[in-house]
């Protein structure tokens, strides 16, 4: 009895038995074949058009033919539904792995760039804060020197009344003595009020404010009375 002849494996059976490496080769071969077919079709289109060209309009006509061919290809690609390059699971798996790897590499590059940018921003911020701290320290030192020089000038040229010393007593009154403020103290109160609460720079004039000092500040335009309350005054905003 004759032995049965084994049938040759089909294309699907051969494809399913391929390893990932063979699947990748198969995909490349299919892509190359498709590309060759496209090149052949393009060559045929160009040859058909060249036969009817005039020598004077050769370049323009070639461009027009290319434009028409590309328009036709675009329209066909737009109308037809996308086709799968291969139905081989191994091929699709390899394609998926490659795409995921590309996405992973792109995300890693973006992450690295963002981290580098953040580090640069942190360094710039720290450097800016250090510069601001140094400037604040310099300003405080300069302010202290100015106030010291101002105090010496005011003590020399605008001392407190000598007959009352540092306090005055009301005649025929049982009220305690009121300690007068030096002109420097009044100016510091006005300055601090203006800087801390610029929206409400007025201070209330009490008995510790010696009237000649108040008139001096008002007369020379260093201070202003409240337009509705004469018992309140503010420093003129020279910094504006």
* pTM for the model: 0.43
**What's the CA gap between 64 and 12, in Å, rounded?**
43
Please report the beta strands in 87-240, taking only residues with DSSP state E, as ranges in sequence order.
167-168, 178-179, 203-204, 223-225, 232-235
pLDDT at 203 over 90: yes
**What's the CA gap between 101 and 89, in Å, rounded?**
18
Query: Domain-by-domain residue ranges, the chain?
Result: 88-159, 179-239
Tell me the average pLDDT of the chain.
77
Pair 217, 158: CB distance under 8 Å = no
pLDDT at 169 over 90: no
pLDDT in tens, 86-104: 677 888 888 888 889 999 9
The percent of residues above 90 in pLDDT, for the chain, comes to 33
Q: Between 78 and 73, where is the model more confident? A: 73
Write out the two tokens for 212. 């000649």
pLDDT at 164 over 70: no
The pLDDT of residue 204 is: 94
**What's the CA gap between 176 and 167, in Å, rounded?**
10
């Amino acid at each position: 009895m004759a032995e049965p002849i084994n049938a040759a494996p089909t294309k699907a059976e051969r494809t399913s038995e391929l390893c990932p490496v063979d699947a990748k080769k198969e995909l490349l071969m299919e892509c190359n074949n498709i590309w060759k077919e496209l090149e052949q079709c393009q060559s045929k289109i160009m040859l058909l058009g060249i036969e009817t060209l005039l020598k004077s309009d050769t370049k323009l006509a070639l461009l027009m033919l290319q434009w028409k061919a590309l328009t036709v290809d675009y329209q066909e690609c737009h109308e037809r539904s996308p086709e799968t390059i291969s139905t081989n699971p191994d091929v699709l798996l390899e394609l998926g792995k490659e795409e995921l790897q590309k996405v992973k590499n792109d995300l890693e590059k973006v992450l690295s760039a963002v981290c580098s940018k953040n580090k640069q921003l942190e360094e710039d911020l720290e450097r800016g804060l250090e510069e601001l701290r140094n400037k604040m320290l310099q300003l405080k030192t300069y302010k202290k020197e100015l106030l010291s020089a101002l105090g010496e000038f005011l003590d020399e040229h605008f001392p407190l009344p000598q007959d009352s010393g540092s306090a005055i007593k009301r005649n025929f009154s049982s009220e305690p003595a009121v300690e007068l403020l030096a002109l420097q103290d009044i100016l510091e109160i006005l300055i601090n009020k203006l800087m801390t609460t610029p929206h409400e720079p007025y201070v209330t004039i009490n008995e510790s404010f010696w009237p000649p000092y108040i008139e001096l500040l008002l007369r020379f335009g260093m201070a202003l009375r409240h337009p509705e309350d004469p018992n309140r005054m503010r420093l003129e905003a020279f910094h504006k």
